[in-house]
Amino acid sequence: MTWTTMRRRALTLCLALALFLLSLSLVACASRMGASNAGNSNISTSSSQTTPTTGSSDNSGSSGGSNSSSIQSINQQVQNAVQNIDNAQNDTNNADATATSEGGPPQQP
Amino acid sequence: MKKFNLRSLIKPMIASALGLLAIGALLPATVFAASNQQTKCGASDLNCVITAGDTLITNRQNSLNDLKARISTDLSANKLTSDQASVLQADVATNQTGLSNLKSKLDAETDIKAARQDVSNIFLQFRIYAVVLPRDYRRIQMDIEINTKDLMQGSASKIKDAISSAPANEQEQLNSLFSDYQKQVAAAESQLDTAQQDFPALTPENFNQNRLSYESTKNALDSALKAARADLRQAAKDLNQMAQILGIKK
């Protein structure tokens, strides 16, 4: 095998490596753009799976004998309400995450 | 014939690979950045400026629609009272109407300078992303914290009754938990009173003209909300323990 042939093979190898890396970076680029598009509509994403609890409680008027079950019910409402606060905090965090896009001077097209 | 030396090829290959890696790492970042930037319009391209401005307005309208949906959902789920929801919905409506009017003005512009000013006003007058959404989502959070605090305060007499009918050997522990419960709820109330006073200062005007004061107020609000949340969580833990003790008795 001559020097020229070997050099040509090495260059071909380099070229193949370059193409491989380029394709990798394009894939990474596409996935990042996809993620960014998904993120744009992510301002209010808190899950609201919990039972509604806040606002009012109808825990008045039950008899003294049902005190314990009444407490269990109040407890459930309160635990759900605390979960609702956490969800609301997530929404706030999401809103803050997009706030940076508008923090500076007006962008002109 | 010249002998082939593999070593002589290793260096250029590594250099090429490193160079390509650097390009590969940079390329997505630049493409990503470009995708986030607006189109750069020509100095006299009025249509381009109008189209870009319309896109900025549409994005903000969509985000406000998301907020509106969140308020409606929380109202339906009794997380917010109708009064609380009304305040928030009114703010969304004000901003949506304002943006809609601005869009009409922008679309009718025939002078590029005026069109560019309209685009600037999307930011300067509304600050939907920088001010309105962060503020209004914080208000939802605060309202939910207030409602949780009200629920806890409203339940205090029931808890007290349940404790008084518990066996004597559990009273001390229950009373201790109840005392802390009340202390935490009171602390949360105090924090929430402070938090409510911070909202009026969170305006686009203050953001534009008095940024330091704006940020300071926002930080104070965050601290109050965080502290109230911690107090309420601790009170909820106390209640959970009380419920367990009382539940075992049953």
- Residue by residue, DSSP assigns B113-167 as HHHHHHHHHIIIII-IIIIIHHHHHHHHHHHHHHHHHHHHHHHHHHHHHHHHTS-
Q: Please identify among residues 47-86 of chain A the ones whose CB lies closer than 8 Å to any CB of chain B.
A: 48, 52-57, 59-60, 62, 64, 67-72, 74-75, 77-79, 81-82, 84-85
Length of chain A: 109
To the question of domain B128-250 being in CATH 1.10.510, the answer is: no
Q: What gap in Å lies between CA B205 and CA B124, rounded to an integer?
A: 8
Residue B225 has pLDDT above 90, yes or no: yes
What is the value of pTM for the model shown? 0.72
Pair of tokens at residue B228: 């109230």
CB atoms within 10 A of CB B109: 18
Contact of B54 with B107, CB cutoff 8 Å: yes
Output the average pLDDT for chain A.
Answer: 66
Query: Residue B113 — very low, low, confident or very high, per pLDDT cuts 50/70/90?
Result: very high
Angle between helix B133-164 and helix B82-108 axes, rounded to 10 deg: 170
Q: Which tens digit of pLDDT belongs to each residue from B41-66?
A: 898 899 999 999 999 999 999 999 99
Instruction: Supply the pLDDT for residue A45.
Output: 33
Predicted complex: ipTM over 0.90: no
Query: Residue B157 — very low, low, confident or very high, per pLDDT cuts 50/70/90?
Result: very high
Contact list, A71 vs chain B (CB under 8 Å): 158-159, 162, 239, 242-243, 246-247
| Across B192-206, average pLDDT | 97
Q: What gap in Å lies between CA B168 and CA B178, rounded to an integer?
A: 15
Instruction: Supply the pLDDT for residue A70.
Output: 87
Instruction: Supply the pLDDT for residue B17.
Output: 53
Question: What is the dihedral sign for C-alpha B55, B57, B58, B59?
Answer: positive
Instruction: Supply the pLDDT for residue A58.
Output: 40
Q: Which tens digit of pLDDT belongs to each residue from A6-42?
A: 777 777 776 766 666 666 555 554 444 433 333 333 3
